[in-house]
Amino acid sequence: MGKPKFYDFCVHAVPDGENTIEQLSTLARHLGYSGIALANHSDKLPQSQPVLPTTNEFEVFRGIELVEENPSKLHGLIGKFRKSVDVLIVHGGSETINRAALENPRVDILNHPAFDKSNGLNQVLAKAAAENDVAIGLTLRPLLHSRGPRRVRLLSDLRANLDLARKYDVSLLLSSDAMSCFDLRSPMETLALAEICGLEEDEALEAITTVPEKIISRSRPGPGYIREGIEVLEEGDCF
């Protein structure tokens, strides 16, 4: 088995974050990542699409984090951006938006599901996430920037959602949610922090390797792809 490839699928560059995508990608590559997803919030997009720096050993994927309080308008945004991005994230934070995201198979990740005194998920929503293959995002920046009761609450919400994800076999995705270069953490630091938060070693590893790879393979089907469930096989691909 080869060396795993690590990914951070939620970083924010200017004008949403503090640093350019070139600065973020240079540091992420230095830290040991094989790729990151530029996922600026939809209400803070640049005037024009930036050119994403990519090499043979490192790729910047085009993503977006949709921010919308109206479920109907959210579905419209999903339809608008789905074909133009590799990674489509919904910024949750209410029961109606969480439901709309988790019931839509065109969504890749739901970030920040918690709201008020709720962890944001329940059995019904966890089942919807599993059925529609929507990953639950576990973001490190809010935890690292919080203190006292706020951090306790975030950890409590995370562990409640982790229990639901395990029970219903929901995919988890770890990301820095970086708003600057100072928010980026190396893959080993990310794995260590995730284990402190309650993830098992294999769960944390999958959340920054195989889960992001699965998202990309879904948004970038192979040359033989026709539609979901149908693929043209080259001679010798079957037996």
The torsion angles phi and psi of 100, rounded to 5 degrees, stand at: -60, -40
Map tokens 């945004």 to a residue. Answer: 77
pLDDT in tens, 7-36: 999 999 999 999 999 999 999 999 999 999
**pTM given for the model:** 0.90
- Which residue, among 112, 96, 155, has the nearest Cα to 10 in the 3D structure? 112
- CA separation, residue 93 to residues 98, 115, 117, 176, 191 (Å): 7, 5, 11, 18, 25
**Rounded to whole angstroms, how far apart are CA atoms 107 and 162?**
19
**Rounded to whole angstroms, how far apart are CA atoms 100 and 83?**
19
Instruction: Supply the pLDDT for residue 1.
Output: 55
Cα radius of gyration rounded to whole Å, the chain: 17
